[in-house]
Structure 1
Amino acid sequence: MRLVHVVTLVSEDGAYGGPTSVATGQLEECATRGHEVTLLSLWRGGSRAPAHIGSVPLRTRPARALLPGRFTGIMHPLLVGDMWRSMGRADVVHIHAGRDLVSLTALAVATLRRKRFFTQTHGMVEPRHRLVARLFDRLYVPLLRRARGCLVLTERERRAVSEVIGPQGPPLLTLPNGVRPEHDAEVERGPRAPEVLFMARLHPRKRPDAFVETAALVHRKLPGVRFTLHGADEGELPTVRRLIAAHRLWGVVSYGGALSYAEALRAQARAAVYVLPSVDEPFPMTVIEALSAGTPVVCTDTCGMADELARRGAAVVTDGSPRAMADAVCEVLTDENRRAGLVRAGRRAVAESFSIHAVADRLEEIYRNL
């Protein structure tokens, strides 16, 4: 099959996060199975956009801010022509759809081209009641309803999307995220440093402030441990720096900026623990990637995969309070048997439930049957 995927942004700093990683991972696996694949996107970075991401051909245009919003209003007029030509040759169009101009344009072009298309919302389409969102949805929602199917991650996302598109919408089909279990072999490995890692956008929902508060509590018990935050700043960096100063954590907690995908994998493999304090995180790719790298994970009970990870003993699931996360980090760092059990269970969870091979099997079935 000729497969065309559309995602809003590819960038050097990985700012768009999970949807971009998911799209490239799906297409890489589909390419290994003999499908002809193309990824369409905007590009943001100091250098020219790459022609490929791994084995995936990439067609991009520079991101331009046409309307307010970090991602909502970015677009490039020439991307419309790229979509028109690429979708015209496609057997299947797959749109990783948020509420933004790129997604809206992709939905419109696929509809005008009379293409068989699917959407995948990655937790980005939820009920919104502000006037601007309601006006946008007058165009956006009718186009979403034209999809052959909408791929969702969790039951929570299913309910949210159903509320937005209503009963006349397309079938809502469950599709998990996945990684290649082999990825951990590609990462430079060495002695584990006593480093605890936060890797997400510095956004209030990701709770980097809770990570710093956790670091302060762990530091009292284990003063040799270091803590690092990586991710694009979305307003919380001043708070992070204020808390570092308030707790006198200079040299203990540091901010390393955003990382490329390859750099992020290496950082996860080096870390002793990966902590994701986010609330209502639908299905974080960083957690799956950390498990694949053999890095123990501490997350909150509102994470979309928390129940599965807890059932398997593959992560330490907490209530999200700094005290609970600090206790979990200390346990992982001081109990080698606990740590080894988490690593084994995490890798088993990736192989059995979060492997890109299983995801691609399901995706091929969806493409062919609908």
Structure 2
Amino acid sequence: MALRSNSGAYGGPADTALNQSELISDRVEAVTLLSGVVATDLPSAGATAITTVEVTVRPLLPAMPIASLGSWSILRQIWLQTGIHDVTHVSFAREIIPLWAAFSTIVQRKKLVLQPHGMLTARKGPKQRALDVVTKPLFRRADLVVALTSDEHRALSRWIGQGEPPTVAIGNPPLREARDTSTHTEWAESTREALFLARLEPRKRVMDFAQAAALAAKRELDINFAIVGPDQGDLETISDLLRASPNLLYEGALPATKVVDRLLQTTVFVLPSFREPWGNVLVTALALGIPVIVTESAALAEVVAQYRAGRVVPDGSPEHIVDALEDLMISPDSLKEARLGALKLSQDELSSRASAAKLVDSYERAQGTKK
């Protein structure tokens, strides 16, 4: 359950919900993906083996445009779908739709699996604390929780306190368009390009990427910098750099179905996020054998370094991003080593098959628990 769109405005949880549903569709009797959609940003139609139910929603509170997305129609549909399915897997956040889905599942005595968004434990402002009066009691009633990593599991344990439900760590799979490219060994060679592909919002640190482009231009490095993703407030902050840096381009938002094609056109994927809990596009880039640059606070920083699948740089340091790009691109041997490291990391640690098996096992565990 998540908001699906063409622009990808909701980010990774929507892509993950679709990918997970498809991955387990041949392992369970029936899978239904229920999602909200906004009339002005409908998801692109695509062939899928699962049942999809899409219900129009709109912001009910202007001050909380994402968290308050909802409608009477989707509340009714959630009640119906949770009642007829054995297990409900909720993409969980402090929002109307997932909160109602969790409540509906509990009241109807069905099995509840919650998969929190990565920011559930990171955001602790007054609004979040107020909503936790409702959020935490629902969370404690889950039959199973799916965390992205062991680090997130520990953060959830601290957040929930007493009454923590059973938790398993299962990383999100690569985007579905990358599933058949695990043996990909051909890459774009026509240009040296660094790509930022994510939402333009403060935690993703697009400013660091834009400043790295300006520094590269000053050093007269032959590297192009491309920014792709929906604007969520930070486009204005980099507008001066976009105008001043001839090597920096903003391409706008991109549907999830086009992400793999865009990745295959680039040389290095850069994600300068602060405390990135996972990164679906990051995982997809690795599956395609594309070297990555991530920050030290990223959840996957350790394995990126271990497999030499790219470079790990300090948080908030455009200078180190430029150094890492130069290091990767100056030598064909360095680039080839990082590409092969990315493929091996993906195959060893991040395979779709392993994710599907763990998910099905988690559902079986949830069905074996008692309220």
Q: Same fold (TM over 0.5)?
A: yes
Q: What's the offset of the Cα at 1:159?
A: 2.8
Cα contact 2:228–2:254 (8 A) shared by 1: yes
Q: Are positions 1:364 and 2:360 aligned together? A: yes
Q: What's the offset of the Cα at 1:104?
A: 0.7
- Output the CA distance in 2 between the equivalents of 1:86 and 1:50: 23
User: SS at 1:36's partner residue?
Assistant: coil
Query: Which residue in 2 is equivalent to 1:61?
Result: 55
User: SS at 1:270's partner residue?
Assistant: coil
User: Over aligned residue pairs, what C-alpha RMSD do you find?
Assistant: 2.2
Please, which of 127, 132, 149 is the counterpart of residue 127 of structure 2?
132
Q: What's the offset of the Cα at 1:167?
A: 1.8
| Structure 2 CA distance for partners of 1:40 and 1:214, relative to 1, 3 Å | same
Query: Which residue in 2 is equivalent to 1:340?
Result: 336
Once the two structures are superposed, the pairs formed by residues 99-110 of structure 1 within 5 Å of their partners are: 99-110=94-105
Query: Which residue in 1 is equivalent to 2:16?
Result: 22
User: SS at 1:287's partner residue?
Assistant: helix
| Structure 2 CA distance for partners of 1:127 and 1:280, relative to 1, 3 Å | closer
- Output the CA distance in 1 between the equivalents of 2:73 and 2:89: 20
For each residue in 1:52-110, what CA deviation from the matched residue of structure 2 results, as whole angstroms up to 9, or x when unmatched? Answer: 66333321122211122241111121111211221222121101101111111111111
Q: Are positions 1:10 and 2:4 aligned together? A: yes
- Output the CA distance in 1 between the equivalents of 2:349 and 2:39: 34
Structure 1 residue identity aligned to 2:82: M
Q: What's the offset of the Cα at 1:189?
A: 6.9
User: SS at 1:31's partner residue?
Assistant: coil
Q: Are positions 1:232 and 2:230 aligned together? A: yes
Cα contact 1:75–1:102 (8 A) shared by 2: yes
User: SS at 2:113's partner residue?
Assistant: strand
- Structure 1 unaligned spans of 5+: 1-5
- Structure 2 unaligned spans of 5+: 367-371
Cα contact 1:201–1:231 (8 A) shared by 2: yes
Query: Which residue in 2 is equivalent to 1:3?
Result: none
| Structure 2 CA distance for partners of 1:222 and 1:291, relative to 1, 3 Å | farther
Q: What's the offset of the Cα at 1:292?
A: 1.4
Q: What's the offset of the Cα at 1:226?
A: 1.6
Query: Which residue in 2 is equivalent to 1:38?
Result: 32
Please, which of 296, 299, 306 is the counterpart of residue 304 of structure 1?
299
For each residue in 1:325-363, what CA deviation from the matched residue of structure 2 results, as whole angstroms up to 9, or x when unmatched? Answer: 101111111111111111111111111111111011111
Structure 1 residue identity aligned to 2:25: A
Cα contact 1:272–1:295 (8 A) shared by 2: yes
Q: What's the offset of the Cα at 1:223?
A: 4.3
Structure 2 residue identity aligned to 1:296: P
Structure 1 residue identity aligned to 2:300: M
For each residue in 1:130-166, what CA deviation from the matched residue of structure 2 results, as whole angstroms up to 9, or x when unmatched? Answer: 4432332212211111101111122332233223322
Cα contact 2:57–2:74 (8 A) shared by 1: no
TM-score normalised by L of structure 1: 0.91
For each residue in 1:157-208, what CA deviation from the matched residue of structure 2 results, as whole angstroms up to 9, or x when unmatched? Answer: 2233223322212012111122266343799975443221101111111111
- Output the CA distance in 2 between the equivalents of 1:363 and 1:185: 21
User: SS at 1:298's partner residue?
Assistant: strand
- Point out the more displaced range, 97-106 or 164-173: 164-173
- Point out the more displaced range, 29-38 or 107-116: 29-38
- Output the CA distance in 2 between the equivalents of 1:186 and 1:90: 37
- Point out the more displaced range, 298-307 or 63-72: 63-72
Q: What's the offset of the Cα at 1:23?
A: 1.3
Q: Are positions 1:216 and 2:214 aligned together? A: yes
TM-score normalised by L of structure 2: 0.91
User: SS at 1:99's partner residue?
Assistant: coil
Q: What's the offset of the Cα at 1:313?
A: 1.2
Cα contact 2:182–2:287 (8 A) shared by 1: no
Q: What's the offset of the Cα at 1:47?
A: 6.2
Cα contact 1:51–1:58 (8 A) shared by 2: no
